[in-house]
Amino acid sequence: MLWWQNIPFFSIILFLLCAALSSVLRHRAARNLTLGLLGLCLGFSAVLLIRVSLPEYTTFTFMMGHFPAPWGNEIRCGPLEALLAAVFSFIMLMALSGGDIRLEEHLGADRENLYYVVCDLVMAALLSQVYSNDLFTSYVFLEIMTLAACALIVSRTRGRTLVSAMRYMVLNLVGSGLFLLGLVLLYDQTGHLLMENLGDAVFSLYLTGLSRRPLVVCVALMSIGLCVKSALFPFHTWVPDAYAHGTPSSNAILSSLVSKGYIVLLMKLYCRVFGWDLILTSGIDRLLMVFALSGMIMGSLRAWRETHMNPMVAWSSVSQIGYIYLGISLGFGVGYTAAIFHLMVHAAAKSALFLTGDRLRVVSGHSSHFGDLRGAGRKAPLAGAAWTAAAFSMVGLPFTGGLISKILLEQETLRHSPLVAAAATAVLALSTLLNVMYFLRAVIQIWAPPREEERKALPRPGLPFALAALGLTAMTLGLFFFSAPLLNLISAGLALFI
Amino acid sequence: MADLRRLFSLNSNDSSLDEALKRDLEEDQHPEDSPLSAREVSMHASAIRREEASMQRREEKAWVLSRRAYQVLSVLTALIIISVLLLNILDLPLFGEADNPTNNEVSARYLEYGLEEGGAVNLVADVILDYRAFDTLGESNVLFAAACTVILLLRRFSDAEQVHGMPEPLLLEEAPSDPLLMAAARLLVPVLLLFGCCIILNGHLGPGGGFAGGAVLGSGLILYLNAFGDQRASRVLTFRSFRILSASALMFYALSKAFSFFCGANGIPLDLPLGTPGSILSAGLILPLNMAVGLVVCCTVYAFFTLFRKGEI
Amino acid sequence: MWQELWNDRVEVAAIILFGIGLTTLLLNRNLIRKIIGFSFMDSAIFLFLAAEGYIAGGTAPIRTFSSDGTMVNPIPAGLVLTGIVVSVSVTALMLALTVRLYQRYHTLDFDEICRLEREKRQDPPGKEGF
C-alpha cells in the first residue's frame, strides 16, 4: 500500500477525532483546529487526485482492519471520489472562514465550540459517503449528517428555525426510515452489505427474471428515501426555511454540501448496486425525471415571488437540485457527468450567494428586503461582484460554470425519445428564463445607485471573508475555463466508479 | 397526571397567544434593528386580528376540507405501502430457513472463525467491535452528535449572557426529597451500577456489551439524581467532566481502531493478545472498546435526562 | 398465499407495525404522538431485520451457549444494535426540539405552530414591495 493510499482513511478518522477534541476546546481553538484540518484535507485530497489520475486513472480499495471485505469494512477511492473530496473540503473551508466568526450572540459563550464539532461531523459524514463501499456504513454516516445538519439549522435559535428544524427532522426521518427498510429488504434477498457483492447478487437475481418485484421495491424505497433527504420536489417543503435563516456559514454548508452527500450516495447505489438495467425496468428514472422537471419550474416560480434575498436563494436551490436529478435520470454517461458537474457548480455558487449576501445585508442596514438592498453592491464591491458572478452561474451565463452543465443536459436530452427531449428542452428554457428574471432583477437592484448618499461608516470585511469570496468566485469561473479537463476527469472517474 | 394529559392535548390557554404574537414580532427583528415602538406593535397586532376575523370563516371551511383530504390521502398512502410490502413478502426468502441468502459465506465465517479471530465468545461482539468496528465508531458518533445538538437546544444560559430574544429553557422544579425513594435508592443504586459494570465487562462473554451496560449505568445515575437531588448528583458528574469523559472515550475508540485499521490495510501485523476464550481479560481490543462505548452511552443517557429536566448537566 | 403469510408472520407483523407507525406520524397533529409514530416505524424495521437472521432451531450466536448446534446469523443482531442507538439519538433530538417549540408557542399542535409562524411572517403594511 502506497503512502498516499492512506489519505481517504485519514481524512475521515481525523475529522472524527477533531470532532471529539473540539468538544473540550474553547471557541478559537476549535475554530482554528477545524479550519486547519480542512486546509490539510484539501491539500491531501489534491495530492490524492493527482496520484490517481496520473499517469493513468486508477482506483484502489482500503481495507479497514485485518479482514478483507465482505467480512470487514472497506473504502474505495478513484479519480471521481478524490475530486469530490477536494471540492467538498474547499467549499466547507470557504464557508466556515467566510462566515460570521462572532457566534456568541447566536449560541451562547460556552457552546460555540459545539458549532465546530458539528461541522467536523458533517465533513466526516460527507467524506464517508464519498469513499464508502459498504451500504450499512453509508447509512450510519447518513444519520450522522442528518443530526449534525439539524444542529446547523438551529445554530441561530429563533422560532422560525425551530419550526423549520422540526419539519426538516420529520421529513428526513421518513427518508431515513424508507432507506433503511430498502436496505433491510435488499440484505434479505442477497445477504451482502458490500456494494460490489451486492451488485453481483442483484444482477444475478435480475437475470433469473423471477425476483424482479422485490428488487424494484428496494429500488423505489431507497430512491424515494434519498430523494426526500436531498429535497427533490415534492419533498422540498422544509428547504426554504431551513436554508435561509441560520448563520451565513450554516446556510452555505446546508445548501451546498449536505444535500450533495445524499445525491452522491444515490449515484453510487445506481452504479454499483442496482445497475442501469434494473433502474430502467423499475421506471424510477422516469419518476425522477418528472419530479426533477416539476422542481425546476416550481422552485423558480416561488423564487420569483420572494421579496427577500435569502428565501429567494433558498428557493432557487430547489430548482437547481432539479437540474442535478435531471442529469441522473438521463442515464449513466453524459447524464451523470452533467449531474456531477452541476453539483460542483451549485455548491460553489450557493455558498457564495449566502456568504456574500450576508455582507450585502449588513451594509444595507441589516435588511435583506430587495428594496433596502438597492446600491448594496456599490457599498461593498467585493461582495457585490462575488454575488453577481454566482448569480450568473446559477442562470447559466457565459464564463461561468453553469453554462456548461446546462449545455450538457440539453445535449443529452436530445438523444432520448422526442417526448423526453421536447419536455426537457421546454422546461430547461422556461427555468432559465425564470432564473434570469429573478436573479438579474436582484443583480440590477444591487448595482443601482443608492437612494441617499449617506457616508455612514460601514464595517470593513475581514481578510477571511475576502479570501472566501475570491476563492468561491475563482471556483465558479474556473469551472468554466477548465471545464474540458474536468469533464474528462469526471467521465473517467465514472467509468471506474462502477 | 395533569401534566401527562396536557402533553397529549393540543392547545394551552389562548390568552398567552396574543402575548406570544407580540413578543415574536419584536423578537424576530435583527438585534441591530431599531425596536418597534409600542404603538406600532399594538397597531400591527390589532391589524392582524381584524384580518384574521374577516377571513376566518372562509379559511376554516377550506382548511377543514383540505384537512379531510390530507387525512384520507395519508391513510390511503399508508395502506398502499403496507399492501405493496405485504405482497412483497411473498417473494422474499422464507422465515427461518437455513439456506436463506443471508446465511452465506459472510455469516459462516463469523460463526466458524469468530472465536479464533476476534477472541470473544459472544460472536455479535466480534462482529460489531472487530469485523465491522467502523460502523460502531460511526454509531458512537451518532450518539455524540445527538448529545451536542440537545446541549445546543436545551442548555440554560448563565446569568451573565443573554441571547437575543429566546426565552430560557424549561426548569422543572426539583421535587422534595422522598424518604421512600431515598431508602429504595440506597439499595438499588449500587446494584444498578454494579449490574451495569457487569454487563459491560462481560460483553464479550455473553449477551450485553457497551451499549446495554451503559444504558443501565446511566439509569442508575438517573435514579441517584432523582432520589438525592441536584446538589449531590452534580458532585458525581458535572458538565465539564461529562465533556471530558465523552471526548476521551470517543477519542480512545477512534485512535485505537484507527491504529488497527491502518495496520490492517498496510499489511503490518498486529498481534493483539487474545487471551483464553471465556476469561474476562480476553478478546484483544473488544473489552476496552466496550468500556469506552459504555462510558459514552452512560454519560449521554444521563446528560439527556438532566438537560430535559433542568437544562444543565 | 395465506399459508405463506402465516409462516412469515413475524415479518408480516413488522410491516403492519410500520404502517401503523407511518399512519400515526402522518395523521396526528400532536408532536409527541408523531414522535411515537417514528418509534413504531423504527421498531418495525428492527423487528424485520432481526427476523431475517433467524434460523429455525438455532440458538443465540454465543459459543458457550451452543458449542456444536446451529447458531443464528449474528449480522442482523449487530445491525439492529446500531439501529437502536440511532433511533434513540434521533428521538432525543426530536423531543428536545418539541420542548423548545412548546416553550415558544405554548402548543403541541404542529399545524397550529406552523399557522402562528406563517402569520408572524407576513410583512407589516407599509414596507415597500419589489
Distance CA(A98)–CA(A354), nearest Å, equals: 10
Task: Output the pLDDT for position B12.
Answer: 41
CB contact under 8 A, C64 and B98: no
Task: Output the pLDDT for position C111.
Answer: 87
Which of C16, C30, C33, C62 should we substitute to test contact with B (largest number of B Cβ atoms within 10 Å)? C62
Amino acid symbol at C100:
R
C83 pLDDT higher than 90: yes
| Residue of A440, A222, B101, A162 whose CA lies nearest to C105 | A162
A456 touches B: beta carbon within 8 Å: no
Q: Which residues, at least 6 apart from B313, have a Cβ–Cβ distance to it below 8 Å?
A: B237, B238, B239, B242, B302, B303, B306, B307
Task: Output the pLDDT for position B62.
Answer: 82
Q: A60 φ, ψ to 5°?
A: -145, 160
- Smallest Cα distance from B161 to chain A, Å: 7
Q: Are A190 and B100 in contact (CB under 8 A)?
A: no
A466 pLDDT higher than 80: yes
Kindly report the pTM of this predicted structure: 0.90
Q: Are A377 and A447 in contact (CB under 8 A)?
A: yes
Task: Output the pLDDT for position C114.
Answer: 87
Chains that touch C (3 or more CB pairs under 8 A): A, B
CB contact under 8 A, C8 and B150: no
CB atoms within 10 A of CB A214: 22
Task: Output the pLDDT for position A461.
Answer: 78
Task: Output the pLDDT for position C127.
Answer: 32
The residue with cell 431508602 is: B183
Q: How confident is the model at residue C124 (pLDDT cuts 50, 70, 90)?
A: very low
Residues of chain B short of pLDDT 70, as ranges, are: 1-36, 157-175
Q: Are A74 and A62 in contact (CB under 8 A)?
A: yes
B141 touches C: beta carbon within 8 Å: no
Distance CA(A322)–CA(C96), nearest Å, equals: 33
A147 touches C: beta carbon within 8 Å: yes
CB atoms within 10 A of CB B276: 8
DSSP 8-state assignment for residue A31: H
| Average confidence score pLDDT of chain A | 90
For A96, A317, A472, B236, C48, the CA distances from A468, given in Å and listed in that order, are: 9, 20, 6, 45, 48
Task: Output the pLDDT for position B32.
Answer: 44
Task: Output the pLDDT for position B15.
Answer: 42
Residue B3, judged by CB atoms within 10 A of its CB (0-12, 13-18, 19+), counts as exposed
User: Which cell numbers hold the place of A53?
Assistant: 489520475
Q: How confident is the model at residue A101 (pLDDT cuts 50, 70, 90)?
A: low
For A334, B50, C128, the CA distances from B41, given in Å and listed in that order, are: 57, 14, 18
Q: Are A420 and A289 in contact (CB under 8 A)?
A: yes
Q: How confident is the model at residue A34 (pLDDT cuts 50, 70, 90)?
A: very high
Task: Output the pLDDT for position B310.
Answer: 81
Task: Output the pLDDT for position B158.
Answer: 63
Q: Are A367 and A361 in contact (CB under 8 A)?
A: yes
| Residue of A150, A116, A95, A46 whose CA lies nearest to A471 | A95
- Percent of chain C at pLDDT above 70? 90
The residue with cell 399594538 is: B42
CB contact under 8 A, A163 and C117: yes
Quote the distance between the C-alpha of residue A439 and its chain's center: 21
Distance CA(A251)–CA(A179), nearest Å, equals: 26
> C24-76, pLDDT tens digit by residue?
988 888 999 999 999 999 999 999 999 988 888 888 888 877 666 788 889 99
Give A63's strand partners: A74
Q: What is the ipTM of this complex?
A: 0.92
Distance CA(A473)–CA(A477), nearest Å, equals: 6
Give A61's strand partners: A76
Geometric angle at alpha carbon C124, from C121 and C125, rounded to 5° = 140
Which of C40, C45, C116, C123 should we substitute to test contact with A (largest number of A Cβ atoms within 10 Å)? C45
| List of long-range contacts for A209-214, beta carbons under 8 Å, 24+ apart | A211/B91, A212/A281, A213/B87, A213/B88, A213/B91, A214/A185, A214/A189, A214/B88, A214/B91, A214/B92
Average pLDDT of the segment spanning C110-120: 86
> A143-193, pLDDT tens digit by residue?
999 999 999 998 877 778 889 999 999 999 999 999 999 999 999 999 899
